[in-house]
Structure 1
């Protein structure tokens, strides 16, 4: 689908050393992603919410309190092996093309800025925990599209076909995101917009170089691509991050109060659902409250509700884990503590 551009410098063949030398930044990012994933797995699991928050996932309440670094670290984090595998394949394909076209410095600027922009968009959409390189990869798609469009005269017939293929990939991914649960469409959109916008400044552009000989006789003309200078890359990157931080600060105004209100609302609804024996709904509401603010003052009650709900649904292992956490956080109400202890004893037989 994507024909090779004359100035996408990459290995036509050869071994591992040529592959690494063609895309040093992409391979470095991929290695960081894998290392981060292994760290999460060793720390308790890359799908464990508490582990994700502890090790730097996007988490609204902490960002609202000034942890802006949480907009950067999730770009290198992944939730589960399939998430890592899917993004790694996309990075190998599109990241490699962008790095060979733009150069490694511009690639890193685009990857980070698009990834952070995706997290800012996701943060604006809600306080839930999130991680992944999807925003950065959508930024790669936007950057490649800009590259193809600006150099379409030199690329010839390959440009329209490649642009059409990119459009199809974006449409398919957006459609899957809208019809599949657990997909952060706002992160995808934010990354795509940021990557496209920054690429308009950083994209290499084809120019015609004319060579003259003696008596100013024309010797030859050739198409030459000129990549963005260090100064241009630096200015564009600093500007992008300044804008993104400003947007984050504006979003954060009043956000902490909003998260607390949301948690209180979900907790109240979870208690009501439990009392009415709607156990599945009670567990779901408690889980949402924990995601919205896992450091609130009702952790023991929320884990108790979730544990009782899981128990009634036959999810014994999850119920034991939740009830143990509830007791660890401690109850001010003796009746609630006794309820958690009795249910835990029943499940464990002790």
Structure 2
């Protein structure tokens, strides 16, 4: 690498980002558990031999399912539905885009599925649970619940993994959590949530953490557990009227915890690199170097921050340090900073 070649490369964009990257985490940890539910449907009865009456309509549940199917078909038409470029066209945003203010992109991933099995299992779970919960609380309340659960779970996933993930499972876990805690008030919930099914779903959620830890599957566990917690809190508020004040305070703290990472995430190398890029573009090079350095301290393999720090140092005339940073960045990621044909 020549002495003057690196300096012609612009800072790596950590805003909206158009790179391929790996497919986002699929919010799918509840899928297999709900596959068991979808196969048995209403035969999980609270009393032996009891069979449920015909379920009333669930228009919101149906509409959500149809939107998910429509988005999936759109991804198929565009070819590679798992590519970042395609997902961006259908409402997903990279973390920098969300931090820049595209907060609506916390909701849209709940309608995006890029794999057929992922879509099938999620919609099976949504249909089994939604057609019980929606008539019980009303369609408008169910819609509000879903549209609250989706961004909250996506925000926790963003805070934990620097991505929102895709799929409806965060919201589905919230539905499960509500029905789990509220099944003694809404007895019909027991028709689909037997004690055995509840234990199976919870065990599966824990097992998916193991799968993610050993890098067997990239699963949005933070979205699932935060969705579950949201559903449990809302369900508890609905049934424990004498405890609504402390439960309401807990829910407010939970929402605040979901909002904070949208503006402040100093534990995240991605966020630190994003802040560095903002300072870099504004030609505040010393400040940018500080942000990049903090990102590298947390993640020494962060080639993007390493490369960008080299660019900032080059602007300040720190040639030797700049070349050292950029050489190390290329050792981590050989293609970084190179123009692609």
Q: TM-score range by the shorter chain?
A: 0.5 to 0.7
Deviation at 1:175, TM superposition (A): 0.9
2:272 to 238, 254, 257: 257
Match of 1:172 in 2: 204
Greater share of residues in helix: 1
Could you tell me how far apart the structure 1 residues matched to 2:140 and 2:59 are? Answer: 10
Equivalence for 2:96: 61
Any conservation in 2 of the 1:135–1:191 contact (CA below 8 Å)? yes
Higher strand proportion: 1
Cα shift at 1:171 = 1.8
Aligned residues: CA RMSD: 4.0
- What is the alpha-carbon distance in structure 1 between the residues aligned to residue 337 and residue 44 of structure 2? 50
| 8 Å CA contact retained: 1:10, 1:22 | no
Deviations 1:113-158 (A, max 9, x none): 222211011011132352110100101110111221345xx679x6
Question: CA deviation digits over 1:13-70, x for unaligned, max 9?
Answer: xxxxxx7x62211111100111111222223432111221332225311111111111
TM-score normalized by structure 1? 0.57
CA deviations over 1:168-223 (Å, ceiling 9, x no partner): 21221331343142101000011111112122334699xxxxxxxxxxxxxxxxxx
Q: Which has the higher contact order (CA 8 A, sep 6+)?
A: 2
1:97 aligns with 2:132: yes
Of stretches 245-254 and 177-186 in structure 1, the one that deviates more from structure 2 is 245-254
1:113–1:240: 8 Å Cα contact kept in structure 2?
no
1:22 aligned counterpart, secondary structure: coil
The equivalent residue for 2:236 is 200
Distance in 2 (CA, whole Å) between partners of 1:241 and 1:48 is 36
Alignment partner of 1:3 out of 45, 57, 71: 45
Change (3 A) 1:195 1:327: same
The DSSP-based 3-state class of the residue aligned with 1:253 is coil
Cα distance in 1, alignment partners of residues 44 and 93 from structure 2:
34
Closer, same or farther in 2 for the Cα pair 1:203/1:44, shift >3 Å?
farther
User: Would you say how many aligned residue pairs link Structure 1 and Structure 2?
Assistant: 241
Is there any run of 5+ residues in structure 1 with no aligned partner, and where?
13-18, 206-235, 276-281, 287-300, 305-325, 329-350
Matched, 1:327 2:340: yes
What is the aligned counterpart of 2:303 among 252, 266, 272? Answer: 266
The 2-side partners of 1:130 and 1:160 are apart by: 27
Corresponding residue number in structure 1 for 2:15: none
1:248 corresponds, among 241, 252, 259, to 259
Equivalent position of 1:184 in the other structure: 220
Return the offset for 1:273: 8.8
Of the candidates 160, 173, 179, which is equivalent to residue 125 of structure 1?
160
Which residue does 1:298 correspond to in 2?
Answer: none
Is the contact between residue 182 and residue 238 of structure 2 (CA under 8 Å) also seen in structure 1?
no
Q: Distance in 2 between matches of 1:49 and 1:164?
A: 39
Name the structure 1 match of 2:85.
Answer: 50
TM-score, length basis structure 2: 0.58
Tell me: CA distance 1:155–1:135, structure 2 relative to 1, closer, same or farther (3 Å): closer
Structure 2 runs not aligned, ≥5 long: 1-42, 242-247, 277-291, 308-325
Contact 1:10 1:100 in 2 (8 A): no
User: Does residue 302 of the first structure (1) align with residue 336 of the second (2)?
Assistant: yes
C-alpha change, 1:147 and 1:55, in structure 2 (3 Å) is same
Asked whether the 8 Å contact 1:75–1:132 carries over to 2, the reply is yes
Checking the alignment, whether the CA contact within 8 Å between 1:102 and 1:202 is kept in structure 2 is no
Q: 1:161 to 1:80 in 2, by over 3 A?
A: closer
Is residue 64 of structure 2 the alignment partner of residue 29 of structure 1?
yes
For 1:137 and 1:193, the matched residues in 2 are separated by: 12
